[in-house]
Amino acid sequence: MSSPDLGGPAADLSGARRLQTRKHHAVGWPVAGLIVLGFCGLVMAGVTTSKVGLLPALVGAAAALLPVAVVFAAIVWIDRWEPEPPMLLLGAFLWGAGGATACSLLLNDAMTGLGDVLFGPTDHRFFVTAVMGPLVEEAAKALFVVALWFRRRSEFNGLVDGIVYAALTAAGFAFTENILYFGKAFAAGGLGGVGGGVVAVFILRGVLAPFSHPLFSSMIGIGIGLASRTDDKKLRLLYPLLGYFAAVVLHGVWNAATLLGGTEFLNVYFLIMVPIFLGTGWLVAWQRKREQRIVIRQLPVLERAGLIVRSEMEMLATLAGRRGWLRKVRRSAGHEAAKAVRDYQIVVTELAFLQHRADQGQTTSAARRARREKLIADLKYARRSAAGTQQAIRTARIKLDELTQRNIKRPPSSKRPPESGDPIQRSRD
């Protein structure tokens, strides 16, 4: 950038250092959590190998990579407006692949014992598979999302965020489960063909139903997303419970259909699962449009507050505009500058959602102030990094009263401060 966005003295570097220190401290606990989850994953790898053998486990892992890659890419794609922190996304996947699977195996063994007590030494496969399995597995997958909701409620800005975390947890769970299924199929019939072996199981789990577990668990994500948008304590409890109940019912119906097979399975697949999958996709698309409208509505507020400049508003209002901005910066200033602009775009989106929640009365004053202060610090840091100068933004120009009195319309004759130059890195293009 050839000239600063805002003139004035250089920013205080001690503030940037304090911000970096806070970020390093904030990373400590997530890293520790990822280590624990990674250890759970290693334990599950050992369990899987002990159940099917080393070679079948390796074949199962290779076969399981393709469907999980497709599912993971789809989940990240729907999360483009306001991407969640990468460590939390990784944590959700690892919990599903390690922690949730371990919990499920332990509890399912206990449920098998319960089935022996209730029904005697008979074949109670249907009870375990279609009733107790969904109850246990959906609860295990939901633990991470519920804990995250209680611990990091600011990360949930609506239904899409809940769906993303729940679906990623389920994707990790399905990945480990697929390794077991594919490994057992390989041990029993080799690669086989359509009639048996890995190919037959892959057609069912990797082609027909790669999104089955994410679809079930997305009901829990929808419930938590709804709970994040209400102040009613009863509804905050009711919505997640209804989401869990819906996930269990869908999972149970699916498991029952796989046991029945034949026409019954096809009826459930095409008449129940496919319409619900398409309906969930429509809901995600509708919610993404809602997120865009929220950002567009709040951009003028952020501009009046001095957090963004007017020439950036059009680029921030659409995903296409943001991608074009990033491409130009990457060509003219390199990858690091583009990454900083990307961080800047994300922080602006977070501030827009925070302002929207304040509009709706969905945050307390203390929580809102703390969150706003952190986001503004992150915004200034990203802007300085992107512009390559400590003068990229000047704290004195930020007017917090514009963020707290948003219902007061500015008279048409009121004078705006002069434009502060081009947007970040734009002058290099």
One pLDDT digit (tens) per residue for the chain, 429 residues: 433 344 444 444 444 444 455 554 445 555 666 566 666 666 666 666 767 777 888 888 888 999 999 999 999 899 888 888 888 898 899 899 888 888 887 776 666 666 666 666 666 778 888 888 899 999 999 999 999 998 888 788 889 999 999 999 999 999 999 988 888 888 887 777 655 678 888 888 888 889 999 999 999 999 999 998 888 889 999 999 999 999 999 999 999 998 888 888 989 999 999 999 999 999 999 999 999 999 999 999 999 888 888 889 999 999 999 999 999 989 988 888 889 999 999 999 999 998 888 887 766 677 778 888 888 888 888 888 877 655 445 544 666 666 766 444 444 444 444 444 445 654 343
Position 141 scores a pLDDT of: 94
For tokens 């692949």, the residue is 97
For residue 149 the two structure tokens come to 């909701």
Burial 347-364 (b: 16+ CB within 10 A, else e): bbbbbbbbbbbbeeebbe
- The conformation of residue 399, written as its DSSP 8-state character, comes to -
Q: How far is CA 238 from CA 124, 222, 235, 241, in A?
A: 32, 12, 5, 5
Position 185 scores a pLDDT of: 86
For residue 279 the two structure tokens come to 């309906």
For residue 264 the two structure tokens come to 């019954």
Whole-angstrom distance, CA of residue 303 vs CA of residue 40:
46
Burial 296-320 (b: 16+ CB within 10 A, else e): eebbebbbbbbbbbebbbebbeeee
Position 415 scores a pLDDT of: 43
H/E run at residue 88: helix 86-94
**Sequence-ordered list of residues with C-beta below 8 angstroms from that of 249, at least 6 positions apart, any chain:** 134
What DSSP string runs through 52-84?
A: H-HHHHHHHHHHHHHHHHHHHHHHHHHT-SSPP
Position 6 scores a pLDDT of: 40
Which has the closest alpha carbon to 354: 151, 163, 144, 82? 82
Position 2 scores a pLDDT of: 38
> Residue length, the chain?
429
Which has the closest alpha carbon to 273: 199, 200, 218? 218
Position 105 scores a pLDDT of: 79
Whole-angstrom distance, CA of residue 58 vs CA of residue 183:
8
What DSSP string runs through 134-188?
A: HHHHHHHHHHHHHHHHHH-GGG--SHHHHHHHHHHHHHHHHHHHHHHHHHHHHHH
Judge whether 96 and 141 are in contact, CB under 8 Å: yes
Position 388 scores a pLDDT of: 64
Whole-angstrom distance, CA of residue 384 vs CA of residue 344:
10
Local structure of 300: helix, strand or coil:
helix
**Sequence-ordered list of residues with C-beta below 8 angstroms from that of 259, at least 6 positions apart, any chain:** 125, 126, 129, 130
Quickly list H helices, 261-394. 262-268, 274-304, 313-316, 319-333, 335-359, 365-387
Q: How far is CA 254 from CA 59, 296, 332, in A?
A: 26, 41, 52
